[in-house]
Structure 1
């Protein structure tokens, strides 16, 4: 159960970062009737961070901190990189290699000996 909770927490944390990015993009390009969109994106980000925090706190009841935090952050990074690849189309090879190194590190830290 804590694994699912950690994945959900990381997903919500990554989603919050994506929503903040969308708010910044929307604020930079004002459109007719769209002045509320940055506010809504920021409110959604705050809600995502809040729910993600609660889920993370619940997961820490049963999960080891040395396993929980790297896993949650790896999921967040995956969400942000997926958004970047799908919507901004600027995922560079160095970002892919860096993400692979992070995921290998998370695997090494979280694996059971």
Structure 2
């Protein structure tokens, strides 16, 4: 009546576990950061790719492989969840890994070494 769609059940995956799955099987898993490129360039999960939420509606243009498992995250967990929903609606297998602040594995980017030093204190 009001145009509300069926509620999507979010498939969650711990961000560190998602990274470990990617490391074990990089041909099967793809880690996608839904943040803007400038944020991605500063700090991201090692091996992750960037596809900002604002262009996620064109996901299939960038990722035509339907046999991969996509794991999405962002600095803000709400952004990650929105990205998850967009990918899920296109029929892909996807997991929401939530927010980046819980990540404790290998990082890349301009600020990667600074963050690692803060953690060691």
Q: Same fold (TM over 0.5)?
A: no
Q: TM-score, normalised by structure 2?
A: 0.26
Structure 1 or 2: more helix by fraction: 1
Pick the structure with greater CA Rg.
Answer: 1
Structure 1 or 2: more strand by fraction: 2
Q: TM-score, normalised by structure 1?
A: 0.27
